[in-house]
Amino acid sequence: MKHFVALLAFALVINASAQTNYDTVRIRPLKITETIYMLKGAGGNIGFLKGEDGALIIDNQFGPLSGKIAQTVVEEGGGEIKMLINTHIHGDHTGGNDNFKKWGVTIVAHDNVRERMMKEGKVRDRVVPPRDKAAWPVVTFPDRMNIHWNNEDLELYHFNTGHTDGDVIIKFAKANVIHTGDMYVQYGYPFVDTNSGGGINGFIATLDQMLKIMDDNTKIIPGHGELASKKDVQAFRDRLAEIRDGVAAALKKGTKTEDIANLPIASKYDAEWGKGFVKGKDFVMMVAENLTKK
């Protein structure tokens, strides 16, 4: 059962990429402000800022969609894409890095995203090869960075290990819009990628820090899902903390890690969250393994 969730999620991403007919995928823009959009297609949600400096995008889904993404940006008045921010390493958010870099786009990410792209990884007994050099970010940072672009002040934060060890939260400070990457998603139980440095305690700690830079008027672009609010992120955080604390209490009472999945710790959320690729029993098992990891 160990690392089952990580293996399952990796397999599903690979299979989705292989099985998707990208010719039929349409990139759908949602206008948030006069200059900021959310683009939906196949993969993680894309943030898009337009203006006289050229277009800036956050994430880029899968490689075969790069042309469609660039065309949608042009159609919405953004012109040529100049800068790309990766929220984390996963291929449904960075799959087109090499295409955009070859087109002259500057790629920005956390230090750990570049480091992980440069070397082999492993999911259980499966070796994940390094990404091609063309996909590597060229500007990286450890904790904080500011980008001043198109009369907007973008604040980039890395708070803690969470979904991975390279998660970046981007706040458009003037517009009060935040792109969370996969630190906040709406597909159900979130994927905590422990093989890419993620962890449940860091996940919740990061959500706590994210909430501090939001207010009731903040518009949230999730990694997957629809435009959201601080209230939605707070509810997501509280549910994860409840599940984590339930697992921790069971472990403290002496329940063996392998028996955690048999407890109804998350079952009341299965009707809402169990429709995603991570199931409740698998999620609590992942939490248990993560909390007991030396």
Q: Is residue 284 part of a domain?
A: no
Q: What is the mean pLDDT of residues 51-71?
A: 98
CA-to-CA distance for 280 and 86, rounded, in angstroms? 28
Nearest alpha-carbon partner for 196 in 86, 274, 56, 107: 86
Residue type at 157 in one-letter notation? Y
Residue 294 placed within a domain: no
200 in a domain, yes or no?
Answer: yes
User: What whole-number percentage of the chain has pLDDT above 70?
Assistant: 92
pLDDT at res. 127: 82
| Residue 202, helix vs strand vs coil | helix
* Span 235-262, average pLDDT: 97
Is 239 domain-assigned?
A: no
Is residue 257 one of the residues assigned to a domain?
no
Mean pLDDT within 133-138: 98
| Domains identified in the chain, total number | 1
Give CA–CA dist 96/100, Å, rounded. 6
User: What is the pLDDT, as a whole number, of residue 57?
Assistant: 99
Answer whether residue 143 is part of any domain.
yes
Whether 163 is in a domain gets the answer yes
Task: Provide the CATH number for the domain around residue 212.
Answer: 3.60.15.10
Given a cut of 70, whether residue 11 has pLDDT beyond it is: no
pLDDT > 50? residue 5: no
Residue 278 lies in a domain: no
Report the largest interatomic distance among the alpha carbons of the chain, rounded to a whole angstrom.
61
CB–CB of 269/226 below 8 Å? no
Confidence class of residue 268 from pLDDT cuts 50, 70 and 90? very high
What's residue 15's pLDDT? 45
Domain that holds residue 13: 4-230
* Average pLDDT value for the chain: 93
**pLDDT digit string, tens, across residues 91-128:** 999 999 999 999 999 999 999 999 999 998 765 567 88
Determine which helix (DSSP H) or strand (DSSP E) holds 280, and give its type and residue range. Answer: helix 280-292
pLDDT at 158 over 90: yes
Q: What is the pLDDT of residues 17-27, one digit of tens each?
A: 556 899 999 99
Predicted pLDDT at 8: 46
Window from 7-11, 82-86, 233-237 with minimum mean pLDDT:
7-11
Mean pLDDT of all residues in 213-222: 98
Tell the residue number behind the tokens 């069971």, with chain if given: 250
Contact criterion met (CB below 8 Å) for 162 and 206: yes
The Cα 50–Cα 36 span in angstroms is: 7
pTM: 0.93
pLDDT of residue 125: 62
pLDDT of 152 over the 90 cut: yes
pLDDT for 211 beyond 60: yes
